[in-house]
Chains A and B, each alone.
Chain A
Amino acid sequence: MKHLLSIEDLGRDGIEELLALTDSFVEVSERRIPKVPTLRGRTVASLFYEDSTRTRLSFETAAKRLSADTMTFGVSQSSVSKGESLRDTVTTIEAMGVDAIVVRHGSAGVPWQVAGWVDVAVINAGDGRHEHPTQALLDCYTIRQARLADGLDPSFEGLRVAIVGDIDHSRVARSNLLALSALGAQVTVVAPPTLLPPAIETWPVTVSYDLDAVLGQVDVVQVLRMQRERQDEALVPTLREYTAGYGLTRERAGRLPGHALIMHPGPMNRGVEIAAEVADLPRAVVLRQVANGVAVRMAVLFALLAAGPSESPGPGSASESPLTVVAGA
């Protein structure tokens, strides 16, 4: 694997491998000093064309726990439109000597363009409404971890997952439904028709406009962020009406099966797509998602960089298992 651009590139085996690798890094993250020298001397650059504090911090934390050096280029879309081209920015960063570029951009496909211009690893940290593969990996990991802890079958085969909300504008939804269905889960997307992507019938999902009809038969419900702009675009009449039909209210949460997990990729609009008290239920694993995000991103960086061509022998090189390295740095 040279880049991580799309869940589609991974396939079931690739996803399973990364989830298995994540176990090791969850263990590392739970140590008193959660740091290993695996990627010492490597540099990971974050190139974020959209504000995204949590994803950027998660990647940077992951890189630092692997002892990689990090640098951050935060670029607002407007400054780019006035000045340097995307390609010039990217090749400039590569020329500084980095091993991986983590890209977040408001336009679908930018990580593919970047991968075409550079020789280093490119990680898609979210491209427009298209994909957010590490979010899907951390969500899958979180589901399996929580079900194991509950003594439930950790397999995804036949797992019933509802993804609720603004599917069309959501890279989280696209990556999640691809990953979950690749792993054998049965995914239902629940949204008003205006928030579903075109040609939804070609996706490996079931469609429902009725959250109440779905809630009683799910193992996992993933709630998506509902943005205020959707109201201005006439995709929903009002946020209030959206909440009435599709919000995970306390009353609706009460009708979920007792074992069902509640997930949200954050940041949450409490009171819009999820009621404040529902977000704080024990079944809501939102903070587990955040914690696992760091471990998943460690696994991705390890998979992409630890066997890379510029590897040099010596202490802390990639030949050491992340499990056996003593955190003494």
Chain B
Amino acid sequence: MPEVDRPTSLVVRGGEVLDAEGRRPADVAVGSDGRIVAVGPGLDVPAGATVLDAGGCLVAPGLVDLHTHLRQPGREEAETIESGARAAALGGYTAVVAMPNTEPAIDSAAVVQEVRALAAGACAEVHPAGAITVGRAGQALAPMAEMAALGVRIFTDDGAGVQDSRLMRRALEYASGLGVVLAQHCEDAGLARGGHMHEGEWSSRLGIPGVAAEAEELMVARDIALARLTGARVHLLHLSTAGSVELVRRAKADGIAVSAEAAPHHFTLTDAACAGYDSTFKVNPPLRTDADLAAVKAGLADGTIDAIATDHAPHTQQDKEEPFDCAPPGMLGLEHALALALSELALPVEAVLALLSWQPAAIAGLAGEHGGPVAVGRPANLVVIDPAAHWVVDSSRLASRSRNTPYGGRALTGRVRHTVLRGEPVVVDGEAQR
């Protein structure tokens, strides 16, 4: 696209651009319409334009989270769309997919519109996912077409899997006609019933009823079979077991249209962390074993798993102080996912950003706006990352309304410096601008 005649309002200067096409030292100039007007070394800064220093930093397409719980409507004491989007921006995200397990569930055009209205002016784009079934109850299909008409591209009953195989088949067939993707929380409810952590040596010692890895793997295997049957694409949420990773690896080798994500806690923590009965470590799917953790890492490295998704799940302190088996599952994720991936995965930064930005953008149907490339004419949704920054997580300083992170005190390498949303610097030097 040729250089266009719009005033430059922002220049990201002195960094190295990194996107799916590679890395090159370049400044990025952004026009007043929020689109990139020039990419190249030594760009001029017109009078009145804002300069963001990117010296020593990577300038990359903004991150995209496929799996965020924003709690609004319904549980605003834990998180709001505004606070969650601010946390997202601080974590380098320019777009998040908001899970529909709100109260009420996002299962109709009306709730989709409510979420969109609440998200106007937020620090990151919020794209609501719709529920597959009415009220996420697993009984009747939700009106997917009316939600798809409003731009919803992912549907899921996340928090629960669609248990009825026949209903899931119908949902996949119906979704394929709409050009949308179904995402599954893979958990066989019957096998998992009553469990609160991974079933194994630790659950046995701690006296906490467990959830067997096979509860996840049964539904992964079923949905792979249904994807083969219907030809529809299915996205598998938060894979946590070695068996799930292997099932997806084989399905991809067989050419089945399946994609998958993994959460940072499943490649950084194991079930041994539950030993102190701190429900901060209670998540669903649960933290698994060292072997599962290694398998998730291997899946991220070899392309079996397409995306890192946070499963950002805010809960109030009061809720998390319930006994372990009564406390709700979930932990925060947005503000630390990038640094955890850079610190823990032993992957090149290009591969980490593929998992956090352009691959999830494609799965979410957002590739036109997010995930790059950093090129003239594209929306300026950018993150500026200092890959060498060493820092320690301070869990008292979070943008989220909740504090349920297990990473307080953890030393990490790599940090978000600036985030640019449609040309506007929403995070500058690690501080949210609104």
Asked if A pairs with B, the answer is yes
Check A197/B204 contact, CB under 8 A, given A87-B321, A108-B325, A110-B323.
yes
Given A87-B321, A113-B321, 7 further pairs, Cβ under 8 A: A81-B326, A85-B322, A86-B323, A107-B325, A107-B326, A108-B323, A109-B277
Q: Does B394 contact A (CB under 8 A)?
A: no
| Cβ–Cβ contact A198 & B203, under 8 A | yes
Distance in Å: Cβ of B392 to nearest Cβ of chain A: 23
Residues of B311-329 at the interface with A, using a CB-CB cut-off of 8 Å, are 318, 321-326
What residues on A are CB-neighbors of B324 within 8 Å? 107-109
Check A130/B204 contact, CB under 8 A, given A85-B318, A110-B323.
no
Check A171/B207 contact, CB under 8 A, given A86-B321, A113-B321.
yes
* A72 to B324 alpha-carbon distance, docked (Å): 24
| Cβ–Cβ contact B204 & A109, under 8 A | no
What residues on A are CB-neighbors of B204 within 8 Å? 197-200, 202-203
Query: Interface readout for A170-204 with B: 1 if CB under 8 Å, 0 if not?
Result: 01001000000000000000000000011110110
Q: Does A139 contact B (CB under 8 A)?
A: no
> Which partner residue on chain B sits nearest A129 by CB separation?
B207
Q: Does A209 contact B (CB under 8 A)?
A: no
Q: Does B128 contact A (CB under 8 A)?
A: no
Q: Which of A85, A107, A200 contacts B321 (CB 8 A)?
A: A85
Q: Does A273 contact B (CB under 8 A)?
A: no
| Cβ–Cβ contact B323 & A130, under 8 A | no
| Cβ–Cβ contact B323 & A198, under 8 A | no
Q: Does B201 contact A (CB under 8 A)?
A: yes
Q: Does A105 contact B (CB under 8 A)?
A: yes
* A311 to B188 alpha-carbon distance, docked (Å): 55
| Cβ–Cβ contact B277 & A113, under 8 A | yes
Q: Which of B200, B208, B209 contacts A109 (CB 8 A)?
A: B208
Check A174/B210 contact, CB under 8 A, given A86-B323, A113-B277.
no
> Which partner residue on chain B sits nearest A130 by CB separation?
B207
Distance in Å: Cβ of A37 to nearest Cβ of chain B: 37
Distance in Å: Cβ of B168 to nearest Cβ of chain A: 26
What residues on B are CB-neighbors of A113 within 8 Å? 277, 321, 323
| Cβ–Cβ contact A108 & B208, under 8 A | yes
What residues on B are CB-neighbors of A86 within 8 Å? 321-323
Residues of A111-145 at the interface with B, using a CB-CB cut-off of 8 Å, are 112-113, 127-131
What residues on B are CB-neighbors of A171 within 8 Å? 207
* A81 to B318 alpha-carbon distance, docked (Å): 12
> Which partner residue on chain A sits nearest B326 by CB separation?
A107
Q: Does B199 contact A (CB under 8 A)?
A: yes
| Cβ–Cβ contact A198 & B206, under 8 A | no
User: What number of A residues sit within 8 Å (CB to CB) of B?
Assistant: 24
Residues of B228-279 at the interface with A, using a CB-CB cut-off of 8 Å, are 276-277
| Cβ–Cβ contact B321 & A108, under 8 A | no
| Cβ–Cβ contact B206 & A109, under 8 A | yes
Distance in Å: Cβ of B102 to nearest Cβ of chain A: 22
What residues on A are CB-neighbors of B205 within 8 Å? 202
> Which partner residue on chain B sits nearest A203 by CB separation?
B204
Query: Interface readout for B207-225 with A: 1 if CB under 8 Å, 0 if not?
Result: 1111010000000000000
| Cβ–Cβ contact A105 & B323, under 8 A | yes
* A202 to B203 alpha-carbon distance, docked (Å): 12
What residues on A are CB-neighbors of B322 within 8 Å? 85-86
* A49 to B117 alpha-carbon distance, docked (Å): 45
What residues on A are CB-neighbors of B203 within 8 Å? 198-199
Q: Which of A108, A129, A199, A202 contacts B277 (CB 8 A)?
A: A108
Residues of A204-225 at the interface with B, using a CB-CB cut-off of 8 Å, are none
* A202 to B323 alpha-carbon distance, docked (Å): 26
Distance in Å: Cβ of B151 to nearest Cβ of chain A: 40
What residues on B are CB-neighbors of A199 within 8 Å? 200-201, 203-204
Query: Interface readout for B20-36 with A: 1 if CB under 8 Å, 0 if not?
Result: 00000000000000000
Distance in Å: Cβ of B331 to nearest Cβ of chain A: 17
| Cβ–Cβ contact A107 & B199, under 8 A | no
| Cβ–Cβ contact B200 & A174, under 8 A | no
* A81 to B276 alpha-carbon distance, docked (Å): 23
* A203 to B207 alpha-carbon distance, docked (Å): 13
| Cβ–Cβ contact B276 & A112, under 8 A | yes
What residues on A are CB-neighbors of B277 within 8 Å? 108-110, 112-113
> Which partner residue on chain A sits nearest B208 by CB separation?
A108
What residues on B are CB-neighbors of A127 within 8 Å? 207
* A304 to B47 alpha-carbon distance, docked (Å): 74
> Which partner residue on chain A sits nearest B277 by CB separation?
A109
Distance in Å: Cβ of B289 to nearest Cβ of chain A: 11
What residues on A are CB-neighbors of B206 within 8 Å? 108-109, 130
> Can you report 10 A-B residue pairs in the complex whose CB atoms are below 8 A from each other?
A85-B321, A86-B322, A86-B323, A105-B323, A107-B326, A109-B206, A109-B323, A128-B208, A199-B201, A203-B204
What residues on A are CB-neighbors of B208 within 8 Å? 108-109, 128, 130
* A85 to B321 alpha-carbon distance, docked (Å): 8
| Cβ–Cβ contact B207 & A131, under 8 A | yes
* A152 to B260 alpha-carbon distance, docked (Å): 64
> Which partner residue on chain A sits nearest B209 by CB separation?
A129
What residues on B are CB-neighbors of A109 within 8 Å? 206-208, 277, 323-324
> Which partner residue on chain B sits nearest A171 by CB separation?
B207
Distance in Å: Cβ of B320 to nearest Cβ of chain A: 11
* A198 to B202 alpha-carbon distance, docked (Å): 9
Query: Interface readout for A85-110 with B: 1 if CB under 8 Å, 0 if not?
Result: 11100000000000000000101111
What residues on A are CB-neighbors of B209 within 8 Å? 129
| Cβ–Cβ contact A202 & B201, under 8 A | yes
